[in-house]
Amino acid sequence: MKTSFLKIFTVVALIAFTGCKDKAKEAETTSTEEAAVAEVTAVAYAVNSDQSMIEWKGFKPTGSHNGTISIKEGKLELNDGAIESGNFTIDMNSIVVADIPVEDEGNAKLTGHLKNADFFNVEAFPTASFEVTGIATADGKTMLSGNLTIKEKTNNISFPVTTEVNDNVVTLKSETFSIDRSKWNVEYGSKSFFDNLGDKFINDDMEMKVTVTAEKI
């Protein structure tokens, strides 16, 4: 019995350690900042909504779910291949759950739940937005900062990105990072807002990976 207990404890500890190790770093989050303004010599690129999206992943004690959200419109302004300013609008009605087959009842149930008033409330807040406030280099990485607005709550976040310019197309890709959803008043199942949830809570940290493709105007 003692041997079996030790084996179970070792497996649980290993899973916990692995989960912690693999967790994406939380984006530095601060108060709102002034939007960046590009020089007059900057080149403008319009976001291609068909090739731009946010990949998301949420966690709970029994596992996780993942999917995508579409970026519907926006603009990036570059000088010598470097981003100087920009913004894009996120279509919250486009939330897709990818880890549950579309034909399964659970897919529609989770998608509807994420859109409901107790989570992102897309009827009242059909869009979210990101507005570039600056770009800098830290530890050899390019860090993009911007005001992220969800449910009319705005915080400034910074996360690592790479930018590639080919002919008349620019592609911006972020590393996977996480945000604390409670800072945007996304309350459902959050220990930051509710007590006595037991194992029915949903983690506040939510992973994101941003891909924006834009074409020269």
The string of pLDDT tens digits covering residues 179-216 is 999 999 998 778 777 677 677 678 999 999 999 999 99
Rounded to two decimals, what is the model's pTM? 0.87
114-159 tens-digit pLDDT: 999 989 999 999 999 999 999 999 999 999 999 999 999 999 999 9
- Checking if the pLDDT of 21 tops 90, the result is no
Domain positions in the chain are 25-216
Between CA 187 and CA 204 the distance in angstroms is: 9
DSSP 27-52: PEEES--PPP---TTPEEEEE-GGG-
User: Which is nearest to 201 in space by CA: 189, 209, 211?
Assistant: 189
Between CA 102 and CA 114 the distance in angstroms is: 15
37 burial class (0-12, 13-18, 19+ CB within 10 angstroms)?
A: exposed
68 burial class (0-12, 13-18, 19+ CB within 10 angstroms)?
A: middle
pLDDT the model gives residue 22: 65
Average pLDDT taken over every residue of the chain: 89
89, two tokens:
């609008």
pLDDT the model gives residue 8: 40
Q: Which residues of 9-19 are buried (b: 16+ CB within 10 A; e: fewer)?
A: eeeeeeeeeee
5-18 tens-digit pLDDT: 443 433 333 333 33
* Local structure of residue 103 (DSSP, 8 states): T
Q: Domain 25-216: give its CATH superfamily.
A: Lipid/polyisoprenoid-binding, YceI-like (2.40.128.110)
